[in-house]
Amino acid sequence: MPSHAASTDLVIARPEGLYCPAGDFYIDPWKPVARAVITHGHSDHARVGHAHYLAHTDSEGVLRQRLGADITLQTLPYGQAIEHHGVRVSLHPAGHVLGSAQVRLEHGGQVWVASGDYKTEPDGTCTPFEPVPCHCFITESTFGLPIYRWPTQPQLMSEINAWWRRNAQEGRASVLFCYAFGKAQRILHGVDAGIGPIVVHGAVEPLNAVYRAAGVALPSTLRVTDPGVDAALLRRALVLAPPSAQGTPWMKRFGAYADAFASGWMQLRGTRRRRGVDRGFVMSDHADWPGLQQAIAGTGAQRVFVTHGSVAVLVRWLRELGLDAQGFKTEYGDEDDAGSPQPELPPAAQGTAP
């Protein structure tokens, strides 16, 4: 969103982040502020230091775990509105991770929606995305290129199950690197737990507990330090670990394991090789190119602001559709790739992304 935004705009750019002047609060600010509305608990959107937080009820467990149990946190269920300085604020499902929300703002006859991060296919671990009619939509574009098209959830889980089953039959642990918040729980919810035991890294299990407390069905999981977890069990196990565990001493206990990486970036050729793993699964908690189109169209918005990702490509596509579209630079990262550099774009896409 440009700095010369009209004075009637409900959200403008400030150095601290997305700011609502009429309500005097921020959405997912990256610098400490007095009042912050948080779309979800990933660390690039939910940061320490704000005096007051507002988020969805299901985000409370993650936010208190990551930001501190004593933060001043107000929560809302989906669809319930509050009024702050004359701005009507409500949260609506984003389908990204547990508790993820789009922020709907209504003031002076205008409705704006800040989507945070979202995906459009339901996965069973969080409330599915719902398009919210608005005049202006603020959208992410993490995977805003036509090359990004995800397999369906059943297809993805079928691939993971087949890989795990084959490794178990060969007596090798199946180590699957995935982001600890969101992806790990999607995998747990979707895989066939009858194939063998499931072992999780210490960074994953506390988040599993948050999901279970929210009523999400997850199979039983083990830690490597639990009684009965021996070499024989591990040779049949699916092991979920964050990318940061790759190459650490923690991995040595699995012997001659097979490994894989779950990320949307696995759509790109060469990513698996650069990651140094045997297998890549195309899996993202962000919308793919058709999902972005579907979500934006579903809002009916005539103005669209595009944040982090392939901003220039999506802005150009939206303008060709006749929409008033602009890019907005943010400090949101890419938790989908867990802090690693974005891989190079294939030749067909080079020169198109900012």
Contact 322, 157 (CB under 8 A): no
Class of domain 153-282 as given by CATH? alpha beta
Domain spans in the chain, listed from the N-terminal domain onward = 12-148+285-349, 153-282
**Per residue of the chain (354 residues), what is the pLDDT tens digit?**
333 345 589 999 899 999 999 999 999 999 999 999 999 999 999 999 999 999 999 999 999 999 999 999 999 999 999 999 999 999 999 999 999 999 999 999 999 999 999 999 999 999 999 999 999 999 999 999 999 999 999 999 999 999 999 999 999 999 999 999 999 999 999 999 999 999 999 999 999 999 999 999 999 999 999 999 999 999 999 999 999 999 999 999 999 999 999 999 999 888 877 788 999 999 999 999 999 999 999 999 999 999 988 999 999 999 999 999 999 877 776 554 443 333 333 323 322 222
Specify the pTM: 0.90
CATH architecture under which domain 12-148+285-349 falls: 4-Layer Sandwich (3.60)
Residue of 166, 169, 175 lying closest to 198 (CA atoms) = 175
Residue with tokens 């003031």: 107
- Which residues are CB-contacts of 114 (< 8 A; sequence separation ≥ 6)? 11, 18, 27, 28, 39, 102, 103, 105, 138
Contact 114, 50 (CB under 8 A): no
Residue of 312, 277, 306 lying closest to 292 (CA atoms) = 306
